[in-house]
Structure formats: C-alpha cells, structure tokens
Amino acid sequence: MRLLLIAGGYGAVVRQYITSMTEVINDEELILGSAARYIAESAPEPDGVLVTDEALTMNAEKDRRDLEALISGLAAYRPSPVPVVLVTADSWKPKEWEGLCAKFPQVRVIVSDYIRITPELVGQGISLAGSGPIPAAGAARMAERETTTGRNAVKGKEPEDAPSRKSFLDRFRPKPKERNTPEPMDALTRELNRISRGISRVVAVTGHRGSGVTSTAINLASEAGRRGLNALIVDLDIDYRSTNMYFGSFHETTKRDEDINASLIRTLARPQDYAATAFPINANVWLTGLGYGFDDSRLISQFVTEARLTGLLSLLRNRFNLIVLDLPLDLLGQYSEIMIHIDSFGLCVPNDLYSVLSTLRNVENGLHKEQAAYLNAKSKLVVTKYNDRSRFKGEIFMPESVCRVLTSGLMDSFTYEMKVAGHVPYSSDFDSQIESDVPLVYTSAHYERAYGNILLRLLEGTG
C-alpha cells in the first residue's frame, strides 16, 4: 500500500509504527496546508492518506479548506476517491468534521482517549486508509462508529454495535459503572496528566550564547504540545532568529509569504489576531518570529518593544497554556520591564566553569542589581549539554553543584538558592534535530523524559 503521511513534525514518530507492508511515499514532513501543493508538484497517486493532529492548525475553517484542496488535488490523479483518515486525540474533531464526512464519504475520523496517538491506533488508521470509499449516506455514522472503534482499539476490545433505539425499561435499570482510564505507569506522565488544562504560564528560556537556549525553548513547547497543552513560541532573538533552523516549514513559508516573514511584528501589532499572524507548527504548537529575509529595522524598533510585549503576554496568556520566550541573556536587559509578567525563567547553563562564569558575566553586564536579583529568584536551572565527565574540584560537576557554584557569591546580586529544573544529556546527535526538522522530544524516550521533567518543574513556577 502506498500511503501519503500528513503528520507535520510527528511524522518521524509515526513512521516508526508503520510496517514494511506500507510504503510512505513522501520523504518531506507535510502539514495539511502544504499537502495540496505537494500533490500538484509530485503527483504521488497514493492508495490512502493518513493525517494526525500535528498536521492541523487551531483554525477549523482553514483546516476544512485545506482538506477540500487536498481532496480536489487527489481527484485530479485518481478517478476513484482516495480514503483520507484523521487519527486524532481531539474528541471534538468528529463533530467539527461531520459536514466534511457527509460531503466526502472517503473522509474518516478515529479518536484516541489518550493524549498521544498509540501504535495500535496508527495501525488502524492505515488499515482504514487502505480500504475503499463508503456510501455517502453512511459517512456521518461511520465517523461516529470509528470514534468508538478507535477508543476500543486502545483498550483492546472489539467495537460493539449500539442499539438503534433504547427500551422504555432501560431507564429503570441500574446504570453500568464507568470504567476508569488506566493510570499511566510512569510517574512523569502521571504528574503531567494532573496539570489542569486551564493552566496558563509564561516561561522565558534564557542563557548565554551557545548554551542551548533555542533548542530548549522549542523542545519544551514541543513536549507541552505532545502532552495536550497549547503552546506559543515567541522568538525574541531577532539577531540570530534560530527558530528558522529548527522549523523548516516556518522558514520555507517565510520565503514565499511576507506576512509570515514578519510574523513577530504582526503578532505584536495585533496579538488578538494570532491565528492569522503566527505560524502553526502543529495542532498544539504555534510560533511567532521573524524570517531571515525580514530586514526592516524601522518596524523592528517600532513594534519589538517592552510595551508591545507586555500587551501580547497579557492577552495571549489567556489563549495558551504555555508561552515560551526565546530570550538570550544579552537581550534580556532590553526587555527588563516584561520580567514581572514572566512566571519563571529556565536558565540554561552547561556544566562547565566557563559557562557558569559566562552566565554571570552576561547577567552583570545586562541587568541592574535589582533586576539580576529578580532573575535569580525567578529562575530554575536547566543544565544543557550535560557532560557526565565534566569535573569541578575533582568531583563530577552535577547539576546541583552547578547551582551551588552559580549562587556561591561570585556575583553579589546572584546569591539566592536556585532549584534544578533538570538536565539535557549531551549527545553527538544533538544537532540532528536541525537537519531533520524534528525536535529531540520526538526522537527518543530519553529526551522525552528529560524535557518532560524540565517542563513539569517550570510549570510549577518558583513560588
């Protein structure tokens, strides 16, 4: 079977679940908005299409238009309708797509009860994508039935046909006991699942140049998205704009879309219109920044200001569970007035003495003493590029030791004891996320746990 996979950055994970019986025909990671263009340019002629949440935006109307464009593009190359299956963790999607399922019988929706898509559900989606179209009259019922089927598949049970009409006597029978969702086995997942979906946090990721600030910011936001939280990345590093390297889809869009090229400017100008001005990485993660091609210094000085940033944070913290600011230490002094609007800082420091001293030097040069003390009090340490061979005074330079040295009095206004949010192990494959366009949290359980723990600690705040 030839499968067109539309899963955004999650595609690398989904591919691990696909057996040799299925050939994924697209090498590039696609989102729904770019799928029609891909079909027009490459004419792939798939047997089926699998879509996941990460390929969608938060704009239901745009997703519907993109899906219709995809179906029209497929119709130009295949005389019979090509099955399109959405595998989703959003229980509202069958209702949102009800009209589409009625209009296009080949469109089907499977819903998972869990935050993440399971291998079993991916397998079921591929099986449906390999089947033929169904009659239009049964499309709406099929969407509802496959929702139930998806849930039962996760629990290992066969779907049951619901009775068409309830008996009058049913109201006098005792109601069956609700079956509880199995408690996750690992402690991290249990703790993250307890986080209220109404939570709202602003986290600034900071550190000296080269300490892994941007990598930490994008992986924290990506991990939040994996856990079902809505996250917005705000790239304030207007000098280097490194988010372009980590999200190739954003970078490519900036080259052909002037509005996205100036995304940060437009979002700061009208934060209430973020759905049109920010870039959707996937269903849960958005990005606003500048493309490499944007060079209007007048607009930058006019809109990238403390007042505009304060307005953005005040408005959008009610729209997102998490706002992540990519804000290196040498720029923090320019935006010191927004520090009181930040719930916690993730201070990135590798475990070597040079990085500790560079961090303190950046703080001393960029902030007044009161601001430095505030940063100290609101920060949790993120030990990036952690090297288990690094030593200090003859002992392994552990994250707790980095904390102690950092606040040992080397800087008078930076002596408040900090907690460790976590550490990210150094790996020779660390930069592969730039080449593959896939954040580290999608590549291994090791990094997923590392960033998951850091996310949990930062969401707790510093109070």
The answer to whether 240 touches 268, Cβ cutoff 8 Å, is no
SS3 423: strand
Determine the Cα–Cα distance for residues 144 and 165; give it in Å rounded to an integer.
Answer: 16
CATH 1.10.3470 fits 2-155, yes or no: no
**Span 386-406, average pLDDT:** 95
Pair of tokens at residue 31? 């989102």
Instruction: Please determine, for residue 142, whether its predicted confidence score (pLDDT) is greater than 50.
Output: no
Instruction: Please determine, for residue 102, whether its predicted confidence score (pLDDT) is greater than 80.
Output: yes
What contacts 24+ positions apart, CB below 8 Å, involve 15-18? Answer: 17/119, 17/122, 17/123, 18/122, 18/126
**Span 165-169, average pLDDT:** 51
**Annotation: CATH topology of 189-459:** Rossmann fold (3.40.50)
pLDDT at 25 (0 to 100): 92
Between 184 and 42, the more confident residue is: 42
Q: Could you read off the pLDDT of 360-378 as tens digits, one per residue?
A: 999 999 999 999 999 999 9
Between 90 and 280, the more confident residue is: 280
Determine the Cα–Cα distance for residues 39 and 26; give it in Å rounded to an integer.
Answer: 10
Give the residue extent of every domain in the chain.
2-155, 189-459
Q: Which of 199, 205, 192, 195 is nearest to 342 (CA)?
A: 205
Q: Could you read off the pLDDT of 328-346 as tens digits, one per residue?
A: 999 999 999 999 999 999 9
Buried b or exposed e, range 427-452, using 16+ CB within 10 angstroms? eeebeebbebbbbbbbbeeebbbbbb
Domains 2-155 and 189-459 share a fold: yes
Question: What band does 132 get if pLDDT is binned at 50, 70 and 90?
Answer: low
Instruction: Please determine, for residue 76, whether its predicted confidence score (pLDDT) is greater than 80.
Output: yes
Q: Which of the 8 DSSP states describes residue 5?
A: E
Q: Could you read off the pLDDT of 224-273 as tens digits, one per residue?
A: 999 889 999 999 999 999 999 999 999 999 999 999 999 999 999 999 99
Phi, psi torsion values for 288, nearest 5 degrees = -130, 130
SS3 452: helix
**Span 150-168, average pLDDT:** 45
Between 178 and 300, the more confident residue is: 300
CB neighbour class for 168 (10 Å; exposed up to 12, middle 13-18, buried from 19): exposed
